[in-house]
Amino acid sequence: MKKILCVCLLAAAATGAAAGETSGYGISSWAGWKPGQISRAECPELRSVPLILKWDSLESAPGRYAFDEELGKPLKAAHADGLYVTLMIWVGPACPEWIYEKGVPLVITDRKVNALGEKTEGQKRYPYYLHPEYKSRFMGLIDAFGKYVTALPPELRERIVFVQCAEGSTGDGQPYKGDPLDQKYAISNEVWNDFRRDAWQNYRKAVPGIPILVNSDANDTVESQWLLENMDVIALKQGMFSHGYIVSDNGERLAKHQALEAEAKKRGKPVLTRGEMDGELFVMGWSKRNVPQALYWSGIFATHCRLDIWNVPREALMDKANWPACAFFNKYAGQKDPTNAPAAFCALRDGLDASDFVRFPVVKFGGQPGEKKDAERYVRIAKAYAAYGARMEDPQKAVGGGMLNRKSSGPNDAGWDMLPGNYSRFLTQIDPGSGDVGLWNIDETIYGRFGRAFEHQSGKKQMRFQLDAGFNAKKAKVTVTYLDKGTGYWSIGLLGKDGATRIQNKNSGAWKTQTVTFSGISDLVLKYESGDDTIFHLIEVDRID
């Protein structure tokens, strides 16, 4: 009965009925939390905290566990502060030394730099995971952890949003960081995924009723199918939806995730996702130049990709300049069912997808279909939109994968399989670009990274938007965020109906909002009326009924 109740609560949260404050969905800190590190008083938008437990601290000697100290105390502190928790046990590089004394081979890798490109001597020592003694001890740890969690008082156990299964290299999907110096300890993807699925199964048995989250980056069709058939909640780490918006190949990633989400929906199973923004925020050129703007658009992008929990570095969470990004993410976290979602949004942008050879033909922009590494093609595309603010400040970083993309020294506005249009949920622009132009790098405010604008001289004078049919609000508040530049007139109304609200800009140079209430809302229209063109950032629809 407890298992059924927990699954029902998670299903409600995943569809929006109990999202945000009551479920722990939304903003979470990173990386690892201890009492006193950050509180809701220091960041009101904080919803959950990650407890990263390490095997060498949990089991300092065989069978001698320290769950009360390492898990019980911080769990009680989080509960007292009204916070939810997510759990993960690091094993691989954090396994106790006695493991090697039991005969498990020590594996040394050639790792020289960390994910941020910094030189490091850390995380080069790993156990050989396939050794029988290691497997036995690892599965025994999971069993002991499960017994402790199951015996927790209900008010503490219910604070746990999920348990992430970390099978090897911290929470990543691979066994090692770097390659083993001794190749006899190399593990093929097929064999490693067999090991991972065994660990998932054991965690599922050990903590029934609590979602087991796995790293999706390493999953193939077999792993996805296993999750659909064996898990009550499909819980996934989606790393590349959370490391900023300047990431290639996210079109393919998102399509793959949406297909899995659709299949889970057919089976009546909710999907829960998390991702993390790490220290790159303060290290990489594209983000550190304007952290509030980088975090704001990364949060909107993560929301578009349907992320439920976003881990953000503590330093960023404690800066009030970043709270608007957190508030936006929290508003939509977990809202996946338009029939009961409280709001919808469309954040306006134009994405320059270099893999689109219809929009950007070879004859004009160069390159060849499938050839991702032609940096000159990206440069030509951005140059064609330079008058609208597009830039390629580090094109060589645009031609690689996500881990290279995020090392860009500045904005790269063209990318390979970059999402080509707006970021949105439940509110879609009809035929974007037909009545507007895209803009890039408008100003240094959080809103000014992207936008869309009228261009009346070229006949682009109308933007139309359609609400998801399931949203079906009898009465709703529509809020438009726009740049008050010039003295032009524009209007907002319902498509095909009279009574539009007319607005004149006052040329203050500030971003402002205009709010209008409508009954029977379906399709919206922003219309150029006269004078200077207007730049727009965001349209939100908040349900009133």
Helix 132-150, helix 189-206: angle, nearest 10: 30
Residues 408 and 307 in one domain: no
Q: Is the pLDDT of residue 185 over 70?
A: yes
Q: Is the pLDDT of residue 195 over 80?
A: yes
Average pLDDT over the chain, rounded to an integer: 93
Q: Is the pLDDT of residue 353 over 90?
A: yes
Task: For 237, list phi and psi in degrees, rounded to 5.
Answer: -85, 125
Which of the four pLDDT bands, split at 50, 70 and 90, describes residue 23? confident
Residue 161: name the closest of 237, 213, 220, 104 by CA. Answer: 213
Cα–Cα distance measured from residue 98 to residue 176, given in angstroms and rounded to the nearest whole number: 20
Strand duo 535-543 + 475-483: pairing: antiparallel
Phi-psi group of 444: left, alpha or beta (phi > 0 → left; psi -120 to 50 → alpha; rest → beta): alpha
Which of the four pLDDT bands, split at 50, 70 and 90, describes residue 121? low
CB within 8 Å of 213: residues ≥ 6 apart: 86, 162, 163, 164, 165, 235, 236, 237, 272, 274
Q: Is the pLDDT of residue 508 over 80?
A: yes
Which of the four pLDDT bands, split at 50, 70 and 90, describes residue 17? very low
SS3 335: coil
Return the number of other C-beta atoms located less than 10 Å from residue 508's C-beta. Answer: 10
Residues 366 and 491 in one domain: no
- Does residue 254 contact residue 421 with C-beta atoms inside 8 Å? no
Quote the longest CA-to-CA distance of the chain. 80
Cα–Cα distance measured from residue 315 to residue 219, given in angstroms and rounded to the nearest whole number: 32
Q: Where are the alpha helices (DSSP H) in 117-243?
A: 132-150, 154-157, 189-206, 221-230
Strand duo 271-276 + 234-237: pairing: parallel
Cα–Cα distance measured from residue 505 to residue 516, given in angstroms and rounded to the nearest whole number: 16
Tell which of 382, 397, 415 closes a domain: 415
Q: Where residue 39 sits, what CATH number does that domain have?
A: 3.20.20.80
Q: Where residue 505 sits, what CATH number does that domain have?
A: 2.60.120.260
Residues 156 and 227 in one domain: yes
Does residue 43 fall inside a structural domain? yes
Cα–Cα distance measured from residue 504 to residue 186, given in angstroms and rounded to the nearest whole number: 66
Residues 399 and 441 in one domain: no
Residues 385 and 240 in one domain: no
Does residue 342 fall inside a structural domain? no
- Residue where the block lists tokens 């746990």: 160
CA 39 to chain centre: 22
Tell which of 309, 337, 365 closes a domain: 337
Which of the four pLDDT bands, split at 50, 70 and 90, describes residue 116? low
Percent of the chain topping pLDDT 90: 88
Cα–Cα distance measured from residue 65 to residue 85, given in angstroms and rounded to the nearest whole number: 20
SS3 239: helix
Residues 233 and 197 in one domain: yes
Query: What is residue 522's predicted lDDT score, i.e. its pLDDT?
Result: 83
Mean pLDDT over 261-273 rounds to 97
Residue 105: name the closest of 95, 115, 113, 114 by CA. Answer: 95
The sign of the dihedral angle between the CA atoms of 361, 367, 372, 377 is negative
Residues 235 and 375 in one domain: no
Does residue 348 fall inside a structural domain? no
Does residue 346 fall inside a structural domain? no
Residues 360 and 485 in one domain: no
Strand duo 450-453 + 437-440: pairing: antiparallel
Query: What is residue 8's predicted lDDT score, i.e. its pLDDT?
Result: 42
Q: Is the pLDDT of residue 6 over 80?
A: no
Residues 234 and 88 in one domain: yes
Return the number of other C-beta atoms located less than 10 Å from residue 277's C-beta. Answer: 23
Length of the chain: 545
Query: What is residue 115's predicted lDDT score, i.e. its pLDDT?
Result: 67
Identify the burial level of 1 via C-beta atoms within 10 angstroms of its C-beta, where 0-12 means exposed, 13-18 middle and 19 or more buried.
exposed
Does residue 448 fall inside a structural domain? yes
Q: Is the pLDDT of residue 358 over 70?
A: yes
Q: Is the pLDDT of residue 387 over 70?
A: yes
Residues 174 and 106 in one domain: yes
Does residue 344 fall inside a structural domain? no
SS3 313: strand
Residue 311: name the closest of 138, 495, 127, 88 by CA. Answer: 88
Q: Total domain count for the chain?
A: 3
Mean pLDDT over 197-211 rounds to 97
Residues 217 and 136 in one domain: yes
Q: Range of 427's domain?
A: 423-543
Does residue 387 fall inside a structural domain? yes
Residues 195 and 273 in one domain: yes
Mean pLDDT over 50-56 rounds to 97
Tell which of 302, 337, 372 closes a domain: 337
Instruction: Please tell me what DSSP assigns to residue 405.
Output: H
Task: For 292, list phi and psi in degrees, rounded to 5.
Answer: -60, -40
Instruction: Please tell me what DSSP assigns to residue 241.
Output: G
Does residue 325 fall inside a structural domain? yes
Which of the four pLDDT bands, split at 50, 70 and 90, describes residue 14? very low
Cα–Cα distance measured from residue 335 to residue 272, given in angstroms and rounded to the nearest whole number: 11
